[in-house]
Amino acid sequence: MLTIHSYPIAVAMCFVTMLCWGSWGNTQKLASREWKYQLFYWDYGVGVLLSALAMAFTMGSLGGEGRGFLADISQAGTGHMALAFLGGVLFNLSNILLVIAIDIAGLAVAFPIGVGLALVLGVLQTYYFRPEGNPALMAAGVALVVVAIIINAVAYKKLQSAKSGGSRLGIIISVAAGVLMGCGFFGLVAKGMVHNFATPEAGLMTPYTALVVFSLGLFISNFLWNTIVSKKPIRGEPVPVGDYFTKGNLRLHAVGILGGVIWNIGMAFSLIASSAAGAALSYALGQGATMVSALWGVFIWKEFKDAPPGTNKLLAAMFACFAVGLGILVASKL
């Protein structure tokens, strides 16, 4: 299987993760012009599973190091597979909440608050399982990310006050998504993975196998979580599952699948890079997607175009805190 030993290459892969995790939300924005986010999310789940299998049978099965995918999954311990599967189930719930937050508040709010909070909690949890890197620098980087989250929430409240007297629903759902995402999935997946990818320990999984099991958890749980939010949406009318077959077209389905593929490429790169970069740093850099998504929301989708004076300064401060915080997190492993 493909393994990474170079720290600079691992960091570069983490930045690819950042771009993927920060950009997949654009596919939802594109699809939501014509149909509901619940219908988009069925295709998203398909894209995640298909891309995981494709990578397992290519990158995860070629090369002279490690174990090939089929050999690896056949020897993996039930408990470790259960952890990765549970990670997929919990992540899926958090991600559906994030999708709802995007639908309500936009990319520039849902990601900095939800994914930013997930970054903080996920780094702490992952570091607890695998204490790698300088803890003081990691703490400083995480602190700056927290400041950025608070600034973004203040900017959003100013925008909502200018529009309609204020709405906290988008912030509340973003926070709920962030708490579940930060406490639920990456640490569980990492705990069931091998520490040495080149000579993997018995019973544990390579990142490619862990990705497939995680993706299965996400895909299967979609029939629970997405059915619930379709029948009992937080706002709006119920969405019949039958609309997926009667109101969609090839382009809309392709956009949803593409969203899942983009996100899961980021997940794969984060897991693969974790051996050389450390699981905590790999996760933290990937969650720098907050900046990428906020850039999309502010400059491409113009989500803050009607904000009152002074909001732009808050957004600039948010971007600065995220950028410096991520830089410190990178330095924490050097």
What ranges do the domains of the chain cover?
Answer: 17-331
Mean pLDDT rounded to a whole number for the chain: 89
Higher pLDDT, 289 or 230: 230
Q: Residue 129: its pLDDT value, please? A: 67
Cα–Cα distance measured from residue 115 to residue 109, given in angstroms and rounded to the nearest whole number: 10
Confidence of residue 21 (pLDDT cuts 50, 70, 90): very high
Mean pLDDT of the region 164-189: 81
Which tens digits make up the pLDDT trace of 279-317?
Answer: 767 877 787 788 899 899 999 999 898 888 889 999 999
Question: Each residue of 272-298: b (16+ CB within 10 Å) or e?
Answer: bbbbbbbbbbbbbbbbbbbbbbbbbbb
Please report, rounded to a whole number, the percentage of residues in the chain having pLDDT higher than 90. 56
Confidence of residue 334 (pLDDT cuts 50, 70, 90): low
Q: Is residue 33's pLDDT more than 50?
A: yes
Q: Residue 163: its pLDDT value, please? A: 62
Residue found by looking up tokens 């520490």 in the block: 195
Confidence of residue 210 (pLDDT cuts 50, 70, 90): very high
Cα–Cα distance measured from residue 176 to residue 22, given in angstroms and rounded to the nearest whole number: 19
> Which residues fall within 8 angstroms of residue 44, CB to CB, at 6 or more apart?
27, 28, 256, 257, 259, 260, 263
Confidence of residue 164 (pLDDT cuts 50, 70, 90): low
Least confident of 72-86, 127-141, 146-160, 215-229: 127-141
Q: Where are the alpha helices (DSSP H) in 106-200?
A: 107-110, 116-129, 135-164, 169-184, 186-191
Higher pLDDT, 98 or 138: 98
Cα–Cα distance measured from residue 333 to residue 280, given in angstroms and rounded to the nearest whole number: 10
Q: Residue 166: its pLDDT value, please? A: 42
Which tens digits make up the pLDDT trace of 52-63?
Answer: 999 999 999 988
Helix (H) or strand (E) segment spanning residue 296 = none
Cα–Cα distance measured from residue 106 to residue 145, given in angstroms and rounded to the nearest whole number: 19
Q: Residue 68: its pLDDT value, please? A: 93
Q: Residue 167: its pLDDT value, please? A: 60
Q: Is residue 83's pLDDT more than 90?
A: yes
DSSP 3-state of 28:
helix
Mean pLDDT of the region 194-218: 93
| Triad 35, 38, 39: Cα angle to 5° | 55
Tell me phi and psi for residue 88, to 5 degrees.
Answer: -65, -40
Q: Is residue 165's pLDDT more than 50?
A: no
Q: What number of residues does the chain have? A: 334
Cα–Cα distance measured from residue 182 to residue 29, given in angstroms and rounded to the nearest whole number: 24
Distances (CA, A) of 301 to 25, 30, 173, 275, 293: 11, 10, 21, 36, 10
Which tokens hold the place of 213?
Answer: 């099991």
Please report, rounded to a whole number, the percentage of residues in the chain having pLDDT higher than 70. 96
Report the interhelical angle of 7-23 vs 250-277 (nearest 10°).
150
| Triad 122, 70, 207: Cα angle to 5° | 20
Q: Residue 128: its pLDDT value, please? A: 75
